[in-house]
Chain A
């Protein structure tokens, strides 16, 4: 199975900050990496697919990059509604696996 490791596990930041979350795969997954946002008590929401493609309706302050084993999710200027937990997910091979999540909290 492909292991997905996110760092950091939690992060405190302020409105307006630039934030980067990293996801590392245990083997190369090409660009088959997706990012989700989950707010407390809600279903996850797709943000980025194929490592860098922005899902329709997602604000442009979100961006993704990377290929192979190392990927990043960047929020260019944090907004109050961005405080949530973020997950990466690989689909290169089954079983589909998620990272453990990064909790983004208000400083």
Chain B
């Protein structure tokens, strides 16, 4: 059974940093791209970024709203994906979901499994 479990959320002051972890099980982690998607309270879904599998270079892409502040990385030996968040703003307050990504074809990418989410609250 595929499982994704996020951890590391909590209350943090503006300007500070936080690292989220996503521990995966039930599949060969290294074969898949991993993404982070967030949802501000009462709002819709916002893609944060993804990291490709090592087969495809392990490269990353980010939403403009987090680029240069957030970093996604992965440790395939531990089946963990990370989201390092620096210079946090109040607008970053959201539930952060870890998702498994499927590249079904060039241009076709979807999120087939999601974690339960972890809440990050940025407030002084």
Q: Is A49 in contact with B104, judged by CB distance below 8 angstroms?
A: yes
Does B1 belong to the interface (CB within 8 Å)?
A: no
Q: Is B44 in contact with A32, judged by CB distance below 8 angstroms?
A: no
One of B35, B46, B110, B115 near A43 (C-beta < 8 A): B115
Q: How far is the CA of A7 from the CA of B97 in the complex (A)?
A: 25
Q: Is B45 in contact with A46, judged by CB distance below 8 angstroms?
A: no
Q: Is A95 in contact with B63, judged by CB distance below 8 angstroms?
A: yes
Given A50-B104, A91-B107, A92-B107: A55 in contact with B44 (beta carbons within 8 A): no
Given A87-B45, A101-B44: A96 in contact with B109 (beta carbons within 8 A): yes
Q: How far is the CA of A38 from the CA of B117 in the complex (A)?
A: 13
Q: Which of A71-92 contact B (CB under 8 A)?
A: 87, 89, 91-92
- List residues of chain A with CB within 8 A of the CB of B50: 96
Q: Is B47 in contact with A30, judged by CB distance below 8 angstroms?
A: no
Does A34 belong to the interface (CB within 8 Å)?
A: yes
- Nearest B residue to A96 via CB reads B47
- Nearest B residue to A91 via CB reads B109
- List residues of chain A with CB within 8 A of the CB of B45: 36, 38, 44, 87, 89, 98, 101
Q: Is B111 in contact with A55, judged by CB distance below 8 angstroms?
A: no
Does A69 belong to the interface (CB within 8 Å)?
A: no
Q: Is A91 in contact with B114, judged by CB distance below 8 angstroms?
A: no
Given A43-B115, A100-B44: A94 in contact with B61 (beta carbons within 8 A): yes
Among A89, A92, A96, max chain B CB count under 10 A is at A96
- Nearest B residue to A51 via CB reads B108
One of A38, A91, A93, A97 near B110 (C-beta < 8 A): A91
Q: Which residues of B contact A (CB under 8 A)?
A: 35, 37, 44-47, 50, 61-64, 97, 102, 104-105, 107-112, 114-117
